[in-house]
Amino acid sequence: MKIIDILNSKKTISFEFFPPKRDSDLPRLYETVDRLSTYNPDFVSFTYGAGGNTRQLTTQVSKEAKLSDKFEVMSHLTCIAHNKTEIINILKNLTLSNIENIIALRGDTPKDMTISKDNLKHATDLIEIIKSNFSNFCIAGACYPEFHPESNNSVDDIKFTKLKQDKGVDFLITQLFFDNKDFLSFKEKAIKNGITIPIIPGILPITSTKQIRRFTKLCGSKIPLKLNEKLENSINNDKETTKLGIEYATNQILELIDNDIPGIHFYSLNKTSSVGHVLNNLGISNQTPEYII
Ligand code: FAD
């Protein structure tokens, strides 16, 4: 089923996973996906080479998850290290695997790879290829409440986000953020500039101070001062950080729910417990089959 059809009928819950580097670690991923599936996600997604991780296994894990028939699946696809022919082949493979949902991304240049001239430059190039060669995909795109680190200014950033909609993106998922004001102000600007498609906030329950500082440095999201001070106190205690992360994500989502969001996308970091705790705090448990925000 196309995710946009789900979004048209209800608020969604989704979980993002990253495929392991080695085939031998696949059973562990499937176990994690299985455990989180008891929370009845509307869809799960699998990254493509994010943070230097593998790109090879994305189609395979997406296919396996789709075969399980427990939830919808969205495959991530980045285009910066591919030319058009390679992209078409990947899309054909996803079609054969019955994958109906793709998040079309540019990606970041992989460290071990040189980019050749015929490689695609922007997510919009990928969206164009999907739209003009395939009719079977619902397409998502990325957006940035604090604006993409390479954007010259917020006007350009919104302009290129709008271009994703114009080229055929059905909905957007945000980069992780910790200050809801950034999301709400981005959403307001987006609407003012003609963006009408759903914008799903991406939420990451923090589990390690050092890790989140590394992530935010890479992706350009900021950690609010007060949260950062608390994180400093538990810099060597991931258990304490995890508790703080669960509490923070719960409060963040409660406030977002009051502001009419179309769903929540969890950056699960392949861990079950934090997301599970947040969902339980929000009143969604194994016993609650339908999550209505
Ligand atoms: P683009 O939309 O191409 O934007 C990149 C920059 O170029 C921005 O500054 C934008 O304003 C500008 N721009 C956009 N279009 C144009 C244009 N047509 N002309 C000129 N400038 C333009 N990375 C991975 O490697 N794998 C993943 O699986 C992955 N999943 C992600 C999922 C989500 C929900 C998000 C938010 C990010 C994800 N990323 C992933 C990270 C993403 O690849 C990076 O943030 C990357 O730097 C930008 O990707 P994009 O698709 O937003 O690029």
Among 16, 72, 100, 146, which one carries the catalytic annotation? 16
Tell me what the pLDDT averaged over the chain comes to: 93
The pair of structure tokens assigned to 81 is: 């290290």
Residue 290, pLDDT above cutoff 60: no
Which atom of ligand 1 lies at the shortest distance from residue 159's CA? 11
pLDDT in tens, 80-136: 989 999 999 999 999 999 999 999 999 987 777 777 889 999 999 999 999 999 999
As a whole number of angstroms, the distance between CA 133 and CA 19 comes to 27
Residue 244, pLDDT above cutoff 70: yes
The pLDDT value given to residue 289 = 31
As a whole number of angstroms, the distance between CA 200 and CA 283 comes to 20
The pair of structure tokens assigned to 164 is: 């994703």
- Hey, CA dihedral for 8, 142, 283, 261, is it positive or negative? negative
Residue 293, pLDDT above cutoff 50: no
Q: Is 41 helix (H, G, I), strand (E, B) or coil?
A: coil
DSSP secondary-structure letter at 83?
Answer: B
pLDDT in tens, 4-53: 999 999 999 999 999 998 999 999 999 999 989 988 999 999 999 876 66
Instruction: Name the helix (H) or strand (E) containing 264.
Output: strand 263-267
Q: What would the mean pLDDT of 239-267 be, rounded to a whole number?
A: 97
Which residue among 16, 102, 160, 174 is best mutated to probe the pocket of ligand 1, counting the most ligand atoms within 8 A of its Cβ?
A: 160
Residue from 247, 240, 262, 271 nearest 16 by CA = 271
Which atom of ligand 1 lies at the shortest distance from residue 58's CA? 28
**pTM (global) more than 0.85:** yes
Residue 268, pLDDT above cutoff 60: yes
As a whole number of angstroms, the distance between CA 130 and CA 181 comes to 33
Indicate the residue type of 281.
Answer: N
Angle between helices 58-68 and 26-37 (to 10 degrees): 40
Q: Which residues' Cβ are closer than 6 Å to ligand 1? A: 47-50, 76, 78, 103, 105-108, 122-124, 142, 148, 150-151, 156-157, 160, 163, 173, 175, 202
Percent of the chain with pLDDT over 70: 96
DSSP secondary-structure letter at 291?
Answer: -
Beta-ladder partners of 139: 102
Atom 38, ligand 1: which residue's CA is nearest? 142
As a whole number of angstroms, the distance between CA 261 and CA 244 comes to 23
As a whole number of angstroms, the distance between CA 114 and CA 10 comes to 43
